[in-house]
Amino acid sequence: MFTAFKRVIKSGWQSFRRNGGLSVATVFIMLMVIFLITSLYLLGGVTQFLIADLEEKVDISVYFKEDSSESNILKVKDEVAKIPEVKEIEYISKEEILDRFSQRYKDNQLLMESLQELGMNPFLPSLNIKAWQASQYGSVANFLENNSLKNIIEKVDYHERKPIIEKLSQITSNVNRVGLIFSITLAIVAVLVAFNTIRLAIYNLREEISIMRLVGASNWFIRGPFIIQGAIAGLVSAVISSLIVFAVCYFLSPKLEIVIPGFHLFNYLISNYLIVILGQFAIGVILGVFSSVIAIRRYLQV
């Protein structure tokens, strides 16, 4: 059994080498597929980092009426904090808002003079709320608008920030959708190229296949080399793709970090190297074997 398996592997390797030009074309297309899917995975990491960074900056504020007591505001805060969608909530008093405003615009003489002329604190006490995801702010806003203490709420600025929040959610969805479409399209192309490679290999070896049938060779012994040939193409593609991905990430990381501070692409790749490498080899072998099996069923009736 082991001897027969060795012969099948050897025959598959010889067939892969014999069809040099077609094998190179198959490897090239598979390489493109694996590289693109890996790039999309890494792009997903970049996108998630950017989205998380944006989500940290996106929030909604609840402003309370001038005569609202602090105890009632804190009651609302405690109720909102219990909502599963809420990640953080902060109470900011009128005095604290005034102090922050003064510190931020202390160099703006016109604003400081206007504030002094008012002779009063124009700001309202507020709650600053952060959700886990941008899509969850709608639920938080609905809760506030239907709260038993909504009569002390002056304004919830969710509707003012809603376009930004919805845009953020849309970007996330579009990136994932486009990546999936590209991956599926190239995977189909790779299967078609590998399929034609195996089909031509079967045609070139038609006399040898006829002889093997006459001497009583098993179906596995006839089909096996073509499956091995497809698997070899996938493995070679995965190895080359891995080398290219690591090299590109290594040289691209310093430049990308200038554009996206805090994100180091090569470190992200290293921290996920097991997923990336196993994923590349799995994709390569699956594409190669799958296309080989289809070609065998279609053109090799044994």
Instruction: Give dist(CA 269, CA 44) in Å, integer.
Output: 12
Which one has a higher pLDDT value, 159 or 224?
A: 224
Domain boundary among 117, 133, 161: 161
Pair 191, 234 in one domain: yes
Residue 220 has pLDDT above 80, yes or no: no
* Tens digit of each residue's pLDDT (9 = 90 or more) over 111-150: 777 777 777 778 888 888 888 877 777 788 888 777 776 7
Q: Are 30 and 240 in contact (CB under 8 A)?
A: no
Give bridge partners of residue 178 from the DSSP assignment: none
CATH assignment of the domain containing 81? 3.30.70.3040
pLDDT score for 107? 77
Domain boundary among 146, 161, 176: 161
Pair 41, 183 in one domain: yes
Domain boundary among 102, 133, 161: 161
pLDDT score for 24? 80
Pair 103, 199 in one domain: no
Pair 295, 172 in one domain: yes
Pair 178, 292 in one domain: yes
Confidence of residue 302 (pLDDT cuts 50, 70, 90): very low
* Most confident stretch, 104-113, 171-180, 248-257: 248-257
pLDDT over 90, % of the chain: 1
For residue 104, give its domain range. Answer: 59-161
Confidence of residue 155 (pLDDT cuts 50, 70, 90): confident
Confidence of residue 80 (pLDDT cuts 50, 70, 90): confident
Pair 235, 106 in one domain: no
Residue 154 phi, psi (nearest 5):
-85, -45
Pair 84, 223 in one domain: no
Count of structural domains, the chain = 2
To the question of pTM greater than 0.85 for the whole model, the response is no
Which one has a higher pLDDT value, 155 or 296?
A: 155
The mean pLDDT value for 187-208 works out to 67
Pair 156, 174 in one domain: no
Question: For residue 179, what are the CA distances in angstroms to 60, 190, 274?
Answer: 31, 17, 21
Residue 299 has pLDDT above 60, yes or no: no
Pair 187, 285 in one domain: yes
Pair 189, 283 in one domain: yes
37-41-44 Cα angle (round to 5): 135
* Tens digit of each residue's pLDDT (9 = 90 or more) over 238-252: 899 899 999 998 888
